Every structure is written in C-alpha cells, then in structure tokens.
Amino acid sequence: MIGVFDSGIGGLTIVRELVRKLPEYRLIYFGDTARTPYGTKSPETIISYAIQDAEFLLEHGAKIIVVACHSASSVATEALRQRFPEIPIFEVVSPSVKKALAVTRKKVIGVIGTRATVSSGIYQKKIAEIDPEVKVYGNACPLLVPLVEEGWLKKPETRRIVKKYLIPLKMRGIDTLVLGCTHYPLLKPIIQAKAGRRITLVDPACEVAEEVAAFLSTHPEIEAKLSKNGKHQIYVSDLTEAFEQVARLFMGRKVNLLKADCEMYHVIKPNGS
C-alpha cells in the first residue's frame, strides 16, 4: 500500500490527489488526531511523532511513505530517511519547491504555513540550493487551520484574516505563493482573491501526487509491491464527530475513519528532581 501520514485529517487533501492521479493503488492513511496539531510543536517532538507515525504505516503494510504534513516534511524528513533507509519517502516540500521555481518570473516566492514550517526555513534552504538568486519570504498563519476546521471557508472574518496574513508578502513583491499547509487548499478561492491575479498559487498536494506517479513509473520493483485491490484504509489516533465532518470537507465525500489501535501516553524517565 501507499502509506500517507499527517498530524490530523488535513492530509486527506493529499490522499484525494493521490487517488485522483493513481486510482489503481490501495492507500493507508494515518492521522495523528490524538496529538494534532504538529505545527505549534518543537522540531524534536515532531520528529519523534513522525517516526512513530511511519512505524504505524509500515507495520500495517505500507511500502512507500508520503509525509502529508508540512511541519513533519519540513523538520522530520531527514530523520525518517535515516531511520527507514529501505523505504522510499516522499514529502510535500521538495516538489513544491520545484514547482515554485518553475513558475516564478520575478524570482520572489512567498510561503505560508504553520509556525513550525515557516520557522524551519526549509523553503529558503531548498530554494537557495537550486537557485541562490531567488528570494523567499515566509509568513506563519496559525489561524488558518482552526478557521478551516471550523468550516469558515467563505466567512468575512476568514477573508480579513487571509488578507492580513498576505500583506507582508505582497509588500515584498512575490509572484508565486506556496500553500505550505494541508489545510490551505480549501481556502484557495479566498487566498487567490486576496493575493490577486498576478500571484500564482502552488498546491503541494498536486505536486507530490505527480512526484509519486513519476517515481512509480520508473521503479517497477517498488510498484510491483503495492497492492492494487481492496479498500483504502483511513486510520486516526483519536475519533470525534468533528473530525469526521472535517474529513468529509477535505475529501469532498463521506469518509469512514477507523480508530487506530494505539495509545499515546507519557513515559516518564527517571530523573534526579
């Protein structure tokens, strides 16, 4: 199976694109709703969560892993590749960087995302490696995730807040804007309206699905391992009615969420105090 994990159910936007582009493969998704969100947490914590999430997917039959969460993609990809060297690991940052570089004309790119994603500076780093002349400006937008999860996709409050978040980026003269969080594609109409026609939006969900498709077409030995029959499996570590509603919003249709058979608990290490 193609394994996909995310801090919550936002990653279903990625699942939707994967299913659209690669309808023949079976998917397994893990959303860590018991500890969501990741974007406000420290890199060490995000890395430790990401490794556990990947382990869950591998134990349940995933042969490749897609990190749908931008915060985890930004800070945990290296750690995941070190921990699981045999497993092809895809993440949402690299294909978005490639796309953003392909579309920018003025070489000024904006990135919006969670605090963890933006303050990781990962986009700046990856873009500078390819084209050091490109300027990259980030702005953390912590209110957009709760606004989407409230279902306030078209409310005037949402418009005002999106506008406010985009002002500093527009003042820098960006012509390309990366939607650096799984939730933001749902706000695409508002973001495009407030950004203006001259700014091209990059949706990482589309880009990562393209990348996985290209990889499978050139790696038949991996492709052969993927199961092609049976239902997709969508697991979450915590289940609430609100999550089911939001999952529906993200997938565009009713989704059966399964409660993953795992528990999260504190392990208190012995210490001196």
Which residue type does 215 have?
F
Least Å distance, CB 220 to a second copy, is 28
Residues 6+ apart with CB under 8 A from 122: 73, 74, 75, 93
Angle, vertex CA 96, rays to CA 82 and CA 226, nearest 5: 55
The DSSP code sequence of 84-138 is: -TTS-EEESHHHHHHHHHHH-SSSEEEEEE-HHHHHHTHHHHHHHHH-TT-EEEE
User: Which residues is 3 bridged to in the sheet?
Assistant: 28, 65
* Among 97, 118, 161, 181, contact with a second copy (rule: CB under 8 A): 161
x-or-dash string of contact with a second copy, 32-51, rule CB under 8 A: -xxxx---xxx--x--xx--
User: Is 262 a catalytic site residue?
Assistant: no
Of 2, 16, 1, whose CA–CA distance to 247 is shortest?
Answer: 16
From 175, 210, 223, 238, residue interacting with a second copy (rule: CB under 8 A):
238
Which range of residues in 28-36, 90-98, 188-196, 212-220 is near a second copy by CB under 8 A? Answer: 28-36
| Stretch 52-81 residues interacting with a second copy (CB under 8 A) | 52-53, 55-56, 59-60
Q: Check residue 121 for interaction with a second copy (CB under 8 A).
A: no
Least distance CB 250 / a second copy (angstroms): 15
Angle separating helix axes 156-171 and 188-195, nearest 10 degrees? 50
Which residue from 20, 146, 225, 227 is in contact with a second copy, where contact means CB under 8 A?
Answer: 146
Residue 150 binds a second copy, judged by CB under 8 A: yes
Q: Could you tell me the end-to-end alpha-carbon distance of the chain, in angstroms, rounded to an integer? A: 46
The binding site for a second copy (CB under 8 A) comprises: 33-36, 40-42, 45, 48-49, 52-53, 55-56, 59-60, 115, 142-143, 145-147, 149-150, 152, 156-157, 160-161, 164, 237-240, 242, 260-269, 271, 273
